[in-house]
Amino acid sequence: MKLKNPFLIPLLFLVFLSFSQQKGDFAISVTASPFPTQDSYSNDFGLIGKVGLEFFLSNKVSFSGSFFTSNNTVINNDSGITINSYGFIPSVQYYFLDKPKINVFGQLGYGFGFDDLTRESGSIENSALTIFSFGAGLNYKLNEKLFLQLTLPYFKAKNITINENAADGIAIFLGFNFKL
């Protein structure tokens, strides 16, 4: 596979350098997930990126809002069809385990967004989305304020404009959290 965009590697580096926190304050997180899409004719490969702000309501419960964007062909465009999605997912996290170097949490969220689907002809179709998400994650402490974050959410995105599923499955998000 040939890398088509020379700025992709620095962009991925910035996406994976993110931030978050724990118990009582605010945290910022930036995470990304691979986004393969395929059918019987083509294999596209893109990325999903999320930026979130988390507020800890207690030592065990936090509320966050995450903005996401995705592009199914940023790395490989075999189909000629590019789908860019954008949206916002508020969620609640519950921290099950809190140790000095690691904490484990569950999360539940529901949000909204939209798709811009660009066909080979250049025409763009816009659609509204609803997104349901639940899963688990962990933060590994790298230093006093910086954490490595891994989340494994199941998510279901429904295109409510045409009443079809847009995405359905488990994703692997990796990034960083920074305690503010």
Distance of CA 1 to the CA centre of its chain: 24
Is CATH 2.40.160.20 the classification given to domain 8-179?
yes
- Long-range CB contacts for residues 31-38, cutoff 8 Å, separation at least 24: 31/149, 31/151, 31/173, 31/174, 31/175, 31/176, 32/173, 32/174, 32/175, 33/171, 33/172, 33/173, 33/174, 34/172, 35/70, 35/71, 35/72, 35/171, 37/72, 37/79, 37/83
* Distance from C-alpha of 35 to C-alpha of 47, rounded to nearest angstrom: 5
Residue 173, pLDDT > 80, answer: yes
pLDDT at 23: 61
Residue 24, pLDDT > 90, answer: no
pLDDT at 121: 64
Residue 12, pLDDT > 70, answer: no
Q: What Rg do the C-alpha atoms of the chain give, in angstroms?
A: 17
- Looking at the chain, the whole-number percentage of residues with pLDDT higher than 70 is 83
Residue 10, pLDDT > 70, answer: no
Residue 122, pLDDT > 80, answer: no
Q: How confident is the model at residue 21 (pLDDT cuts 50, 70, 90)?
A: very low
The answer to whether 166 and 157 are in contact (CB under 8 A) is: yes
Q: Which amino acid is at 136?
A: A
* Distance from C-alpha of 66 to C-alpha of 111, rounded to nearest angstrom: 9
* Distance from C-alpha of 85 to C-alpha of 71, rounded to nearest angstrom: 7
Q: Domain locations in the chain?
A: 8-179
Roughly how many angstroms between the first and final C-alpha of the chain, as a whole number? Answer: 39
pLDDT at 20: 36
pTM: 0.80
Task: Name the least confident of 4-13, 109-118, 145-154.
Answer: 4-13
The answer to whether 80 and 73 are in contact (CB under 8 A) is: no
Q: Which has the closest alpha carbon to 47: 77, 80, 18, 92?
A: 77
Task: Name the least confident of 16-25, 49-58, 160-169.
Answer: 16-25
Residue 167, pLDDT > 60, answer: yes
Q: Which has the closest alpha carbon to 117: 154, 167, 174, 152?
A: 167
Strands 82-98 and 102-118 come out as antiparallel
* Distance from C-alpha of 158 to C-alpha of 59, rounded to nearest angstrom: 33
Q: How confident is the model at residue 70 (pLDDT cuts 50, 70, 90)?
A: very high
